[in-house]
Structure 1
Amino acid sequence: MQSAIGQFLRYLAVEKNASANTIKSYREDLTALVEYLTDAYGGRCPSPDQVTTLDLRGYVAAMHEAGYAPGTIARRLASLRSFFRFGMRQGWVKENPAKPLRNPRKPRNLPHVLSTEDVQKLLEAPPASSPMGLRDRAILETLYSAGLRISELVGLNDSDVDLAAEIVRVRGKGRRERLAPLGSFAVRAIRRWLAVRKLHPSLRDQPDRPLFVNRFGQRLTTRSVARMLEKYLRQTGLDRRTTPHTLRHSFATHLLNAGADIRSVQELLGHKSLVTTQIYTHLTTANLKAVYEKAHPRAR
């Protein structure tokens, strides 16, 4: 089994060009299966062709009993389906034992969103009197203006941004690229940041110079951006549930509230499926209902 897992992970890295985080997730999911099967088979893990659908049903039941979230179980099942599908192509197994298993029903939790007033309060929090303050304001303005994921933001290079055209090239999930517009506030904030940015000597002549760097002139990490946001949340007294992804949620919700069509929002967010974008329609429906109940004379 371990040899088969190793081949599968190499396939993901070499042929599918999967990210390090994706490979890490698959490795963890498959390791969890090996641990379960080793225990279930009395200390000996079966080979891939010996694993049955009944074995995997037992694994799913064990995860339910252990209190795993439906989303975690669904992700692990997706990993198993991919692994055994690869096994069929390699000739390890004749059929996919994970295929008949259904994902648990996941509750659709509505994402946390800031009001336009709270977004403005947050964007104005970083001081304009220091290089790091100008950087932080440019980061927050870019996250909200373009609806970026935090990983997309820290991955931006100078060459990805066209300030004259007010657009940014974004590398999203699955290595998919998209163009996202930048608002005038974000463009202005980025220009002010670039005027004071100091790059590490090793990066100055590189074609892929990072757009946002730390105080040592090196590319920022996602954790650094999260810590930066936490600081401004404390200063402004805004909801501590707010994360960098909240600005992406707020971006989508505010666009829909202002009349943007959902297909356009899907493209701007870089969602592969419209179903992923549709969660924001629940938020805008709730907003419309609140307006209706407040304004309509026969609403209550």
Structure 2
Amino acid sequence: MQKKLLAYSEDFLEYLLDVRGYSETSIVTYEIALRQMMEVSHFYEEDGLTVLDITPFRFKIVKNHKKTIVKKLSAVRSFVKYLEDQCTMSLKLIGDESIKVPHSLPKPIEEKYINEVLNKANLEEKLLVSMLYGLGLRISELSLLKLADIKEGWVQIHGKGNKVRELPLLEELQKLIVVYVKEKGPKTYLFEKGNAPMNSAQLRYILTKLFKEAGLKVTPHQLRHSFATHLLNNGARIADVSELLGHDTMATTQVYTKLGSVKKMQEYMKAHPLAKS
């Protein structure tokens, strides 16, 4: 089957050059990707279908630049589509999941750095960080959080689109809130200045200043991102994390699991004896 696919790949490259008008440079790129894929991938028959498992290929290219990985996977998918459309071959492709990381998605903060900052923070700063990291809140949600929304170990969050979600309060966070309310005496909102709630900009300033003093450039959304990433890395179900974050669909939360998969694959490539041979 591998020899057959190799022959088809040559036809595919000619098709790209003669029919689709691809440049010579693109053809070379496709040829390299397909050759690498065929050298290590698994081919077998299952339920009358030819299965192409490119998981080993994914391991092989994991250290490549992200754009290079995307190009190589695109070449493989185009080849499979060619086989299905032009050669009427029934082919099942395994291991081609895309890993797309939005440019706007901030990197999670390591737990040790968050703990270091918490140990040096004053009461207000400590509660601010703990609410964002401990509950995965958006800064706008925290700004408008009322004392009346915190009760009996739960906090009610009014999120985007007037959607309300209930979040469980960690025991340590409950104790921290009690101490803060007793000492600061807020009347309506958890974080107040005068008779009004502290706005997002004011809370963000406190947070960024705190982390800057520790030599770190951190945004409120990074703490929300860290909340999700650390939960998933420690075995939390994606459905539960999605609900805690207030996402409309699990597809939005999926990016965190894919980032975790990349990290796991990279660690595997570093650690496994066969990967070093």
TM-score range, shorter-chain basis?
0.5 to 0.7
CA distance in 2, matches of 1:273, 1:160: 25
Aligned to 2:205: 227
The superposition leaves residues 87-127 of structure 1 with CA deviations (integer Å, 9 ceiling, x where unpaired) of: xxxxxxxxxxxxxxxxxxx9723432101111212222312
Letter matched to residue 148 of structure 1: L
* Displacement after TM superposition at 1:139 (Å): 1.4
Residue from 99, 102, 108 that aligns with 1:108: 102
1:251 aligns with 2:230: no
Provide TM-score, normalisation by structure 2.
Answer: 0.60
After the TM superposition, which residues 212-291 of structure 1 pair with which residues of structure 2 at under 5 Å, given as runs? Answer: 212-214=191-193, 216=194, 218-238=196-216, 240=217, 242-291=218-267
Q: What CA distance in whole angstroms lies between the structure 1 residues aligned with 2:179 and 2:128?
A: 12
Question: Matches of 1:126 and 1:159 in 2, distance apart?
Answer: 26
CA distance in 1, matches of 2:157, 2:115: 24
CA contact (8 A) 1:142 1:182 kept: no
From 129, 153, 170, the counterpart of 1:140: 129
Where 2:185 maps in the other structure, the secondary structure is coil
Letter matched to residue 110 of structure 2: S
CA distance in 1, matches of 2:177, 2:116: 19
> Shift of residue 217 of structure 1?
5.0
Q: Secondary structure at the match of 1:108?
A: coil
Q: How does 1:19-34 map to 2 (within 5 A)?
A: none
Identify which of 150, 155, 171 aligns with 2:144.
155
**SS at 1:278 equivalent:** helix
Structure 2 counterpart of 1:161, one-letter code: I
Which of 163, 178, 201 pairs up with 1:191? 178
Cα separation, 1, equivalents of 2:135 and 2:209? 22
Is 1:122 aligned to residue 143 of structure 2?
no
Deviation at 1:270, TM superposition (A): 0.5
Q: Is the aligned partner of 1:210 residue 2:189?
A: yes
2:166 alignment partner in structure 1: 179
TM-score by length of 1: 0.55
Which residues of structure 1 form unaligned runs of 5+? Answer: 1-105, 128-133
* Paired AA for residue 149 in structure 1: R
Hey, which bits of structure 1, 4+ residues long, moved more than 2 A? 106-111, 122-125
Partners of 1:124 and 1:166 in 2: CA distance: 24
CA distance in 1, matches of 2:131, 2:139: 10
Structure 2 unaligned runs (5+)? Answer: 1-99
Q: How many pairs were matched up?
A: 176
- Aligned-partner residue type, residue 289 of structure 1: M
